[in-house]
Chain A
Amino acid sequence: MRTNEEFNHFYAQELHAQTQRLERQRDDNKPALTKHRNQSIIASVIYLIIVFILFKSSIFSVFPLVIVGLVAVVFVFYFRHVNKFQKKMNDQIKSSLIPDLLHFVEPNLTYRPSEFIPKQDFLASNLFAEHQVDIYNGDDLIGGYVGDTNIKFSELNVKQRYKDSEGETKEKTTFKGLFFVMDFNKSFEGSLYALPKMVKNNFFSKFMGQRSTSSGERLEQVDLENGVFNDTFLVRTTDQLLARYVLTPAFMEALMRYKTKSDYIPMFSFSEGVMYLALRTNREHLEFNLRKGIDQEMVRTYFEDINLSLQIVEELQLNTRLWG
Chain B
Amino acid sequence: MEILLILLIALIAITILFYNKLVKLSLKVKESNASIDVMYKQRFDTLPNLIQAVKGYMKHEQGVLENVTKMRNILATPGISEEEKHHANQVLSQELPKLLAVAENYPELQASQNFLHLQQTIVHLEENIAAARRTYNAMVNAYNTFIKSFPGVLFASVFGYKESVLIEATAEERQNVRVEF
A100, chain B: closest CB distance, angstroms:
33
Kindly count the residue-residue contacts between A and B in the assembled complex, taking CB atoms under 8 Å apart: 51
Give 1 or 0 for each of A68-109: 1 = CB within 8 Å of chain B CB.
000000000000000000000000000000000000000000
Q: Which residue of B lies closest to A323 (CB)?
A: B120
The answer to whether A241 and B132 touch across the interface, beta carbons within 8 angstroms, is: yes
A10 CA / B25 CA spacing, docked (Å): 60
Per-residue contact bits, chain B 135-149, to A (CB 8 Å; 1 contact, 0 not): 101110000000000
Q: Report whether over half of chain B's contact residues are helix, strand or loop; otherwise say mixed.
A: helix
Q: Which of B57-65, B83-91, B122-130 contacts A (4 or more CB under 8 A)?
A: B122-130
Docked-complex contact B123 and A241, CB < 8 angstroms: no
Tell me which residues across on chain A come within 8 A of B128, comparing CB atoms: 241, 245
Query: A240-B138, A241-B135 given as contacts; is B175 within 8 A of A186 (CB)?
Result: no
Within the complex, the shortest CB–CB distance from A80 to chain B, in Å, comes to: 57
B175, A250: Cβ atoms closer than 8 Å: yes
Is the contact region of chain A dominated by helix, strand, or loop, or is it mixed? loop
User: When chains A and B are docked, how far (Å) is the Cα of A241 from the Cα of B130?
Assistant: 10
B178, CB-defined interface residue at 8 Å: yes
State whether A322 and B123 are in contact (beta carbons under 8 Å apart), knowing that A225-B134, A244-B134, A248-B130 are contacts in the complex: yes
Q: Are B135 and A248 in contact (CB under 8 A)?
A: no
Contact of A320 among B120, B131, B178 (CB under 8 A): B178
In the complex formed, the residue of A with least CB distance to B133 is A244
Of B35, B120, B134, the contact of A322 (CB 8 Å cutoff): B120
Indicate whether A321 reaches chain B with its CB closer than 8 angstroms: yes
Q: Tell me whether B123 and A240 are in contact (CB under 8 A).
A: no
Given contacts A225-B134, A244-B131, contact A324 B174 (CB under 8 A): no
What is the CA–CA distance of A75 and B4 in the complex, to the nearest angstrom? 80
Q: Which residue of A lies closest to B139 (CB)?
A: A240
Q: Whose C-beta in chain A lies nearest to the C-beta of B113?
A: A324
> A185 vs B77: C-alpha distance in the bound complex, in angstroms?
37
Query: Does B176 count as interface, using CB distance less than 8 angstroms?
Result: yes
On chain A, the residues within 8 Å of B123 by CB distance are 322
B123 CB to nearest chain A CB (Å)? 6
What is the size, in residues, of chain B's interface with A at 8 Å between Cβ atoms? 23
| Residue in B116, B134, B175, B176 whose beta carbon sits within 8 Å of that of A324 in the complex | B116
**Which residues of B have CB within 8 Å of A186?**
127
Q: Which residue of A lies closest to B124 (CB)?
A: A322
Q: Once bound together, how far apart are the Cα atoms of A65 and B40, in whole Å?
A: 78
CA distance A138 to B178 in the complex (A): 37
Quick one: closest A residue to B128, CB to CB? A245
Most B CB atoms within 10 A — which of A224, A245, A251? A245
Within residues 240 to 268 of chain A, which ones have a CB less than 8 A from any CB in chain B? 240-242, 244-245, 248-251
Check if A240 sits within 8 Å of B176, measured CB to CB.
no
Which 7 residue pairs are nearest across A and B when measured between Cβ atoms? Answer: A244-B131, A245-B131, A250-B176, A244-B134, A241-B135, A248-B176, A240-B135
Residue positions of A touching B, CB distance < 8 A: 186-187, 222-225, 240-242, 244-245, 248-251, 317, 320-324
Jot down 11 A-B pairs with beta carbons below 8 A, ordered by A: A240-B32, A241-B35, A241-B128, A241-B132, A244-B130, A244-B131, A245-B128, A322-B127, A322-B179, A323-B120, A324-B120
What residues make up the interface of B, taking CB atoms closer than 8 Å to A?
Answer: 32, 35, 116, 120, 123-124, 127-128, 130-132, 134-135, 137-139, 174-176, 178-181
* Besides the known contacts A187-B124, A248-B127, 8 further A-B residue pairs in the complex with CB atoms under 8 A apart: A222-B138, A225-B134, A241-B32, A241-B132, A244-B130, A248-B131, A250-B175, A322-B179
